[in-house]
Chains A and B, each alone.
Chain A
Amino acid sequence: MIAWLTQHRVALVSAFRRLAAMPLNTLLSLLVIGIALTVPGAAYVLLDNLRDLGRNASGVQQISLFMQIDAGKKEVAEIENRLRGLAGSQWRFVARDDALKRLQASEGLADIVASLPRNPLPDAFVVEPSDAGPEALEMLRKEIAGWPKVAHVQLDSAWVKRFDAFLRLGKLVMWLLAGIFGGGLVAVTFNTIRLQVLAQAAEIEVARMIGATDAFIRRPFYYFGALQGALGGLLAAGLVAGALRLLAAPVDELAGLYGGSFALAGPGPLDAAVLAAGGGLLGWLGAQLSVSLSLRKFD
């Protein structure tokens, strides 16, 4: 156990030493990896912000429930009961008289309303469901439509669906980008490790002959690849955060022109950790491939 720990410590220290031994090479590799990870990282943060924007846009997740015109207090109470049964959902009741008063208050409509022989508006509910996914909304709409004395249930689902499809497309593009640039990261690591194996040929040969296991020889390269990838990931998180900071003021201005307030959310510690872990994993993969191929000639 102690021997095992010692060997891992030795491997990690030697990986750090190799990174520090060639600062220019290290810097260039980190830049390449960092920029490669910045693209999917930025796409992810952008999509995240768009999703928040969609979630905050008012009216998107509302269902309007219109009672039949002849529905009485009893039926309204029944619907209220059933709405209470929907866990987590919020709703409010719009009585037909209130709706008419609001209509009367509207500019230019007062005369028309006054000329009506009776109130044509039904009682209504506005429901904000807890689960705002398009499928869940659609299911809820169907359920509510089947309740007694419900005339019509309206869901502005087209917009939600379109937005959702757009987000899904964006997500797919992000994964494609992540795949392409992840492949690039693996290739960069592959090459750095190959050069390292060549540079360490003497040490590897001696180590083999005096009793080093394959694992002992490979380990420092794995650590090196993973370390380089993880540092590149952190660099990418930094680059995305920097870019967002530059964009923050113009976005604020734009949001102000639309009468809203919206602030871009940057990559949090969790996003940075995910980028670092992803970079580390891909770097490890590149090292694994490279070492397996490069060490063959030592057999």
Chain B
Amino acid sequence: MIVASHLSQRYPGGYEAIKDVSFEITAGQMVFLTGHSGAGKTTLVKLIASIERPTGGSLVVNGQNLSALRRSALPYVRRHLGMVFQDRKLLFDRSALDNVMFPLHIAGMPRRDALRRAQAALDKVGLLAREKAMPITLSGGEQQRLAIARAVVNRPTVLLADEPTGNLDPESAAAVFELFADFNRVGVTVVVATHDQDWIARSRPRVLRLDHGRLL
């Protein structure tokens, strides 16, 4: 499902965020990326999400070698990935429902189908009753769950999350992790970058530990 070999990412200026990293994540796995701040978790998530392109090595996601793909092909790769950002990246000029429908608009789905799908996704994260609410009126935990609804509405094969529980109280964080576990149970490959050790201790998932850009 996700195969990295000798992957490296060097930024302009010479800083190497990822150094010669190799791993394989099979379909349906749930994997946690951990490590100190600046260890390269966010960079690795961005590479898998094809938001950044690797400067060295190869990265194959869903059978496609991301480093060899043309730039114009990347949007179609991204549509098969669900992405949850630490800062959520919700759009505050539209309702919760419209936020969730956005990826479906991008994919060109007719409005009626998109509406049904978006409502199902909101229902899944427990926010259907608040579909008309503007994101600014939602709590931090609700906003993150809204972001998860948007990430899964396309029914991705891979769900990626970068510090999804940063700034959340333990209860909200647990709700977010429960959601990831639910999606993983129905076959979605889940990759979460986090340093929430409590949850890792409790659920004992597979852990990839990064240290200064290298895999330990």
Residue A258 at the chain B interface, CB threshold 8 Å = no
Q: How far is the CB of B115 from chain A (nearest CB, A)?
A: 13
Let me know if A211 and B106 touch, CB within 8 A. Answer: yes
Q: How far is the CB of A299 from chain B (nearest CB, A)?
A: 9
Residue B17 at the chain A interface, CB threshold 8 Å = no
- Within 8 Å by CB of A6, from B75, B76, B85, B109, lies B109
- Within 8 Å by CB of A210, from B72, B92, B103, B109, lies B103
Q: Chain B 66-105 against A: per-residue CB contact (8 Å), 1 yes, 0 no? A: 0000001001111100010100010111000000001101
Let me know if A203 and B106 touch, CB within 8 A. Answer: no
Smallest CB-CB separation from B85: which chain A residue? A209
Q: Which residues of B contact A206 (CB under 8 A)?
A: 89, 91, 102
Q: Chain A 196-231 against B: per-residue CB contact (8 Å), 1 yes, 0 no? A: 000000110111011111101000000000000000
Q: Which residues of B contact A205 (CB under 8 A)?
A: 89
Residue B192 at the chain A interface, CB threshold 8 Å = no
Let me know if A2 and B106 touch, CB within 8 A. Answer: no
Residue B111 at the chain A interface, CB threshold 8 Å = yes
Cβ-Cβ contact count across A and B, 8 Å cutoff: 55
Report A1-56 residues with CB < 8 Å from chain B CB. Answer: 2-4, 6-7, 10
A4 to B75, CA, bound (A): 15
The 8 closest A-B pairs by CB, nearest first: A3-B108, A211-B79, A211-B78, A212-B106, A213-B75, A7-B108, A211-B75, A210-B103
Binding site for A on B (CB under 8 A): 49, 51, 72, 75-79, 83, 85, 89, 91-93, 102-103, 105-111, 150, 154
Q: Can you add 13 more A-B contacts, CB < 8 Å, to A203-B91, A211-B154?
A: A2-B108, A2-B110, A6-B105, A7-B105, A202-B92, A209-B51, A209-B85, A209-B89, A210-B78, A210-B150, A211-B107, A212-B106, A213-B72
